Amino acid sequence: MIKLFSILVVSALFIAPISVVHANPPMPAFYADVMKMKPEGKLGQVIKQEKIDTSIKGAQAWRIAYISSDVAGRRTISTGVIMAPVGPAPKEGRPILAWAHGTTGSAQNCGPSQIIDPTRALNQYFLMDGNSWTDFGIPNGQEFINQGYVVVATDYQGLGGGGKHQYAVAQTNGRDAINSARAASSMKEVGAGKKTVIYGWSQGGGATIAAASLPEYQSQKGTAADDLQYLGFVALAPDDVAVMLPNIPKDEAAAKKLMNGFTQANVPNIFLFAHYVMGLWGTQAAFPDLKLTDMLTTEGANVVEKLAMNKCVHVLADSFNYAYGDNYKSLLKPEPSNTLAWLKAFVDGSVKPVKPVAPVIIYWGTKDTAVPPIMHELYQKQMCAKGANVARIQLPGEQTHFATPGVSAPMYLEWVKDRIAGKPLANACPKS
């Protein structure tokens, strides 16, 4: 259990207005202006927009900033991009596809909407044809535009809109996806209607299944666009911390033992260590009663704070490697404290054990070591027991975590089209 939980968090861990935190990286003017704004308004309300160029044929696009809220109900500002077909929309409005991206980092300048041509096809750092220092772009964007959909892609809060990014706190990230759809539905320029599908990968896969299990949040009234019709959720290699911890330890001693095992399993190399501490930083942002010094030395907490506020994930790992080399584990506190509260926070920020409001389809590869398939297998069993319709599709061949978006892209196009059309769907839950 410790090993599975630790691997999971490596990949994706990780009502007053939330305070705005300013990072040091210089920001493009659009985001610098947004970071000076207060997170006030209706959920999904677009508070700033800017027309941008797009390489997607037949489309028009905007950068947007909109009101969202986090797992604790605090108002936030999220940024992102939205694109729609050129020309008049049908009377009922265009369907909405809301994209939730994978890990990019935790600093303000890590939002994918800040990259040149942010609406292009997905560009991945690790793949041979990737040509950027980060992952950005939108899977199937051209195909969805061709089919007459509006596509909106959140950056999540804290990645260009001020505040501290709650890295892979799935319930916060899921709310950002929900509110991005509200933002799209409220923008007269794009001609969006109410039919909505959310899709996401890795961190965004967790956000997608978290959003699926937030019926009360979805049905809130008085938002920028009420009564969206959620028709399906497409999750590519999604994480779910909570399903891996069905029984939180009841005492600090047991919690400390679990946390020690979790920590050591997460720090075998500098890259995993970087994800681990970024996850701690993001969880602490969501649950401010926690302290980084519960888990890290004073030096470690100071270094993590500085790097997490200023660097995206790959360069953050490089900075740890340059500064500490093989001694990076010296930043860990030999004996963590307040571990019961940390474990509870991991679960409270994860997917709620609530039946999804619409069918869910999961795509996964057999060589995914970042998000072990056992996690969404357990998620499927949990939700199917509640009467949900959750499918898991094993990708052909031996696909890694990073191959998942590209290989699955053509596979879920028809599934999405059928959900938009209202076609019946057989229950995909295992019969046994």
Q: Is the pLDDT of residue 315 over 90?
A: yes
Q: Are strands 150-157 and 75-85 parallel, antiparallel or unpaired?
A: antiparallel
* pLDDT for res 240: 94
Closest CA to 74 of 218, 254, 288: 288
Summarize the confidence of residues 108-133 as an average pLDDT.
95
Residues 6+ apart with CB under 8 A from 256: 335, 336, 339
Q: Is the pLDDT of residue 20 over 50?
A: no
Tell me the residue length of the chain: 432
pLDDT, the chain, mean = 93
Distance (Å) of CA 87 to CA 94, 189, 190, 194, 282: 11, 10, 9, 19, 41
Residue range 291-303, pLDDT digits in tens: 999 999 999 999 9
Report the distance separating Cα 93 and Cα 91, nearest Å.
5
Report the distance separating Cα 347 and Cα 388, nearest Å.
21
Domains present along the chain, CATH in parentheses: 18-242+355-419 (3.40.50.1820), 245-347 (no CATH)
* pLDDT for res 247: 86
- Residue bearing the bigger pLDDT, 3 or 372: 372
Report the distance separating Cα 257 and Cα 249, nearest Å.
10
Closest CA to 270 of 306, 324, 312: 324
Q: Is the pLDDT of residue 5 over 80?
A: no
Rg for the chain, CA atoms, rounded: 20
Residue range 138-166, pLDDT digits in tens: 999 999 999 999 999 999 999 999 999 99
Question: If you search the block for the tokens 């008085």, which residue do you land on?
Answer: 222
pLDDT category at 17 given cuts 50, 70, 90 is very low
Question: If you search the block for the tokens 């305070």, which residue do you land on?
Answer: 19
In this structure, which amino acid lies at residue 4?
L
User: Cβ distance 428 to 387 under 8 Å?
Assistant: no
* pLDDT for res 24: 72
Q: Is the pLDDT of residue 266 over 80?
A: no
* pLDDT for res 369: 83
pLDDT category at 14 given cuts 50, 70, 90 is very low
Alpha helices (runs of H) in 123-246, residue ranges in sequence order: 141-146, 170-186, 203-212, 215-218, 241-244
- For the stretch 319-324, contacts whose Cβ atoms lie closer than 8 Å and that sit 24 or more positions apart, written own/partner, are 320/270, 320/273, 320/274, 321/270, 324/270
- Residue bearing the bigger pLDDT, 5 or 417: 417
Backbone angles phi, psi at 173, to 5 degrees: -60, -35
* pLDDT for res 170: 97
Cβ neighbours of 419 (radius 10 Å): 23
Summarize the confidence of residues 173-181 as an average pLDDT.
98
Summarize the confidence of residues 273-285 as an average pLDDT.
93
What is the percentage of the chain residues whose pLDDT exceeds 70? 94
* pLDDT for res 9: 39
Q: Is the pLDDT of residue 230 over 70?
A: yes
Q: Are strands 59-69 and 46-52 parallel, antiparallel or unpaired?
A: antiparallel
Closest CA to 363 of 127, 205, 159: 205
Summarize the confidence of residues 110-118 as an average pLDDT.
97
pLDDT category at 370 given cuts 50, 70, 90 is confident
* Coil, helix or strand at residue 404: helix
Report the distance separating Cα 328 and Cα 326, nearest Å.
6
Residue 304 burial (10 A CB sphere; 0-12, 13-18, 19+): buried
pLDDT category at 342 given cuts 50, 70, 90 is very high
In this structure, which amino acid lies at residue 183?
A
Question: If you search the block for the tokens 């998000």, which residue do you land on?
Answer: 371
* pLDDT for res 269: 87
pLDDT category at 288 given cuts 50, 70, 90 is very high
Residue range 63-72, pLDDT digits in tens: 999 999 999 9
User: Cβ distance 351 to 386 under 8 Å?
Assistant: no
Q: Are strands 75-85 and 94-100 parallel, antiparallel or unpaired?
A: unpaired
Report the distance separating Cα 133 and Cα 124, nearest Å.
9
Distance (Å) of CA 315 to CA 52, 112, 339, 400, 408: 27, 15, 29, 22, 28
Q: What's the half-sphere exposure (Cβ side, CA atoms, 13 Å) at 237?
A: 30
* pLDDT for res 3: 39
* pLDDT for res 254: 94
* pLDDT for res 8: 38
What is the percentage of the chain residues whose pLDDT exceeds 90? 86
Q: Are strands 59-69 and 75-85 parallel, antiparallel or unpaired?
A: antiparallel
Cβ neighbours of 138 (radius 10 Å): 25
In this structure, which amino acid lies at residue 407?
V
Q: Which residues pair with residue 332 across a beta bridge?
A: 296
pLDDT category at 2 given cuts 50, 70, 90 is very low
